[in-house]
Amino acid sequence: MSKVKIDYSLYLVTDRKLLGERDLAQSIELAIQGGVSLVQLREKSISTKEFLNLALRVKEITSKYDIPLIINDRLDIALAVDAEGLHVGQDDLPMLKARELLGPDKIIGVSARTLEEALLAEKQGADYLGVGAVFRTSTKSDAKEVSLEQLEYIKKSVSIPVVAIGGINYGNIQQVKATGIDGISVVSAILVQDNIFMAAKQLKEIIG
Amino acid sequence: MSKVKIDYSLYLVTDRKLLGERDLAQSIELAIQGGVSLVQLREKSISTKEFLNLALRVKEITSKYDIPLIINDRLDIALAVDAEGLHVGQDDLPMLKARELLGPDKIIGVSARTLEEALLAEKQGADYLGVGAVFRTSTKSDAKEVSLEQLEYIKKSVSIPVVAIGGINYGNIQQVKATGIDGISVVSAILVQDNIFMAAKQLKEIIG
Ligand code: NI
């Protein structure tokens, strides 16, 4: 099987703790129906077994809609559920090790905050970059900010797709889009909204 | 490569937080010199990158002494450092999934507290069982106790090696040995001792 072609335009990253009583797999389904084109399961403080069971349920949903599923950090979970890819941050497995273990056909995304990190990841074979945080964010309190100018500069300097992440919402998505990036990645802008379907739909209408 | 033959007699399980200022890799080396026959890297609250770097350092030591290295829970780390095996608890990857991803040549150990868990793990192809906690333990506060009678019963009921774990120390190791198990697994009884080498040596002299 070769690598799937990815639509990075509206990339949902999960955080089950934002959902309160709502079910994560069901919430993801609503978000996909609203226009989410890619899903990253990013869960912390969870046992491997729970993560696996959650990933299996989410994989059923994403497969049903033919949406690629990317697992954050945990290559073991990505392998266990045969996810379409893995996203690694700078505290996770190194890009080259991830590629060695996953093979050429899986999508690997890398978080980058600087041009140096972006160029290195591209050179090492990353399929896309997650660049941010472009705005201050409550879901990842340690995230340093990357200016929109810096984001635009990184986008112009690499050939692989760039997804902007961090604090993006309905109010600021237009300015992020103006930098020329390939997609935006959101957590709260979809998952904390009362109407997840509509929240995704409204973002999708702007990002295209 | 086929599966390595394992000496389960004195099985060190790590917990870097017990070491204070002392270095984990160096402490493991002293423990191996004292008689530890198998090492399990079991670290929680650690980033994947830190776990990987720690595992790489420990692997250098264990390889130098030809001691197998088992990684607790994290199959991604086990793959990344080409460890000799993986240990899975009941909250980790299921045994069958671990075998599917690791292949037939890697050692897979499973934690079991009951005869039912032990028999299932054996049937599913576990290479050994970790049974406990046989005594109350401070390093794993949620561990339920397994009586020595129960341990002996499990040992008699399975054909794969059984390692006793949980609160075992110089004072009670003799009674554990008397149950006929294949080895004992210790954390504090080695790692919190001032003289790690001697602590391992004294335990080894009893367990043989
Ligand atoms: Ni072989």
Mutation target vs A (from B76, B93, B97; most A CBs, 10 A cutoff): B76
The verdict on residue A4 lying in a domain is no
Contact (CB, 8 A) for A154 and A118: yes
List the single range of A125-129, A182-186, B127-131, B134-138 with lowest mean pLDDT.
B134-138
The answer to whether residue B5 sits within a structural domain is no
Q: Taking CB atoms and an 8 Å limit, are A73 and B48 in contact across chains? A: yes
Yes or no: say if A45 and A53 are a contact pair by the CB < 8 Å rule: no
* Burial of A20 from C-beta contacts in 10 A (0-12 / 13-18 / 19+): exposed
The Cα diameter of chain B in Å comes to 43
pLDDT, chain B, mean: 95
In chain A, what residues touch B91 (CB-CB under 8 Å)?
A: 47-50
Q: Which residues of B belong to the active site? A: 42, 111, 140
Asked if residue A3 has pLDDT above 90, the reply is no
User: How would DSSP label each residue in A89-156?
Assistant: -TTSS-HHHHHHHH-TTSEEEEEESSHHHHHHHHHTT-SEEEEE-SS--SSSTTPPP--HHHHHHHHH
Question: Does residue B57 sit within a domain?
Answer: yes
> Residue A148: which CATH number?
3.20.20.70
- How far apart, in whole angstroms, are the C-alpha atoms of residue B81 and residue B41? 12
- pLDDT tens sequence across A96-119: 999 999 999 999 999 999 999 999
Q: Are A92 and B49 within 8 A, CB to CB?
A: yes
ipTM: 0.92
Residue B126's pLDDT is 98
Q: What pLDDT is stored for residue B145 in this prediction?
A: 86
A155 is catalytic: no
How confident is the model at residue B139, as a pLDDT?
Answer: 65
Nearest Cβ partner for B48 among A47, A50, A93: A93
Cis peptide preceding A164, ω within 30 of 0: no
Q: Is B201 annotated as a binding residue?
A: no
Q: Residue B45 falls within a domain, yes or no?
A: yes
CA distance B15 to A200: 44
Distance from the Cα of B72 to chain A's closest Cα (Å) equals 11
B140 is in an annotated binding site: yes
Residue A144 predicted with pLDDT over 80: no
What is the average pLDDT across A123-139? 91
Mean model confidence pLDDT for chain A: 95
What pLDDT, on the 0 to 100 scale, is given for residue A139?
A: 65
* Partner residue facing B47 (CB), from A47, A48, A91: A91
pLDDT over threshold 70, residue B196: yes
Q: What is the pLDDT of residue B142?
A: 61
**Which listed residue (A111, A113, A155, A185) is catalytic?**
A111
The answer, for B180 touching chain A at a CB cutoff of 8 Å, is: no
Nearest to A179 by CA among A208, A205, A150: A150
Least CB–CB distance from A49: residue in B74, B79, B91 = B91
Considering only CB atoms, A75 lies closest to which of B76, B91, B97, namely B76
Kindly state whether residue A5 falls inside one of the protein's structural domains: no
Interior angle at CA B188, CA B197 and CA B60, nearest 5: 55
* Residue A147 assigned ligand-binding role: no
Q: C-alpha distances in angstroms, A131 versus A158, B49, B65, B172?
A: 12, 19, 44, 55
A5 contact B CB<8A: no
Q: Is B3 a domain residue? A: no
Q: Please tell me the predicted confidence (pLDDT) of residue A33.
A: 98
How many domains does chain B contain in total? 1
Q: Assess if residue B71 is contained within a domain.
A: yes
Chain B nearest-CA residue for A79: B101
A3 inside domain: no
- Give the span between the Cα atoms of B143 and B11, in whole angstroms: 18
Mean pLDDT, residues B200-207 taken together:
97
> Is B48 assigned to a binding site?
no
The pTM (predicted TM-score) of the whole model is 0.94
Write out the residue range of the structural domain in which residue B103 sits: 10-207
B63 touches chain A (CB under 8 A): no
